[in-house]
Amino acid sequence: MTIPRLLVVDDDEETRSMLTQFLQQNGFIAHGAQTEAEIRDRMQAGRVDLILLDVMLGSESGVEICARLRREQDVPIILVSALSQDHQRMAGYEVGADDYVAKPFNPDLLLARVRAVLQRASRSASLVYRRQLALFRFGGWSYDGKRDEVLSPQGFQVALSQRESGLLKVFLANPHIPLRREEIQAALSERLAAASGAESEGTGRAIDMLVGRLRSKIESDPKDPQMLRTARGVGYVLAVDVTEESPA
């Protein structure tokens, strides 16, 4: 894949340029668009790998646009919204969005999501599915998103806590990519930190602890981890391949 090409759809000029710039700074190609027509223009004009679609587009509802786009083409879509109630979230999934991010969002979280969706998209060419329910296989292990259940290579079921399985999901979505602690933190606690460069989170070493505990459960030799490798000075990486199946 070449550099991913993103399309940021938002009717607020400021948000749009802020977003496109931020994404460009992080190695993506990002363009802006305001209307459904513009989206279609862009997609006509060239490849678009992912659309970041605001839910509140003045007159139009982003959700409806999403539904329409999805019916016709298979471009991955992340819905962006200030309304982060759960039922609305579900509505987004029903419509076929690949993910859903609340605004104001933590930039690290957004990055992680974008990468995750692109990853998935590049692997399983075309497949509208619901994020949570996939079945992952990695290094002999498997994780069933539907049951939130982990099976060891020997078939033993291993109980993970909420947070641990959350952590696992974050890594499964970003294999081979070193994740910084802040990114992990952000992806885990969907709490919206301040929008921009928010680097609060000076708490402590919770992530290290979490990783340690997860290792003790899914690494055959936790002292010498084969899957959850540490990237010194950076964070942690999942160093095995991940395959993802749509749920049965």
**Token pair 């550099």 is at which residue?**
3
> Which stretch, 44-52, 100-108, 132-140, 215-223, contacts DNA (CB under 7 A)?
215-223
Q: Which does 133 bind (CB under 5 to 8 A by kind): its own copies, DNA, none?
A: its own copies
Q: Which is nearer to its own copies, 14 or 221 (CB)?
A: 221
14-18 contacts, C-beta under 8 A, 24 or more apart: 15/54, 15/103, 18/196
**Dist CA 75 CA 185 (whole Å):** 28
Token pair recorded at residue 181: 């602690």
Residue from 134, 186, 210, 240 binding DNA (CB under 7 A)? 210
Helix axes 181-188, 107-123, angle to 10 degrees: 80
204 binds DNA (CB under 7 A): yes
State the residues that interact with its own copies by CB under 8 A: 1-4, 24-27, 29, 46, 61, 63-64, 66-67, 70, 83-90, 92-97, 132-133, 146-148, 159, 161-163, 176-178, 224, 226, 229, 231-234, 239-241
The least distance separating DNA from the CB of residue 119, rounded to whole angstroms, comes to: 22
Q: Segment contacting DNA (CB under 7 A): 85-93, 104-112, 141-149, 204-212?
A: 204-212
For residue 216, the partner it binds in DNA, its own copies, none, with Cβ less than 5 to 8 A by kind, is: DNA
Q: Where are the alpha helices (DSSP H) in the chain?
A: 13-25, 36-45, 62-72, 86-95, 107-123, 162-173, 181-188, 206-218
**Structural Rg of the chain based on CA atoms:** 18
Per rule CB under 7 A, is residue 233 in the interface with DNA? yes
Answer whether the bond into residue 175 is a cis peptide, omega within 30°. Answer: no
Q: Which is nearer to DNA, 34 or 226 (CB)?
A: 226
Q: Residue 244 contacts by C-beta under 8 Å, 6 or more apart in sequence?
A: 120, 123, 124, 134, 135, 136, 137, 172
Report, in Å, the least distance between residue 169 CB and its own copies: 14
CB 123 within 8 A of CB 174: no
Site string for DNA, 125-164 (x = CB under 7 A): ----------------------------------x-xxxx
Chain residues that interact with DNA, rule: CB under 7 A: 159, 161-164, 203-206, 208-213, 215-216, 222-223, 230-235
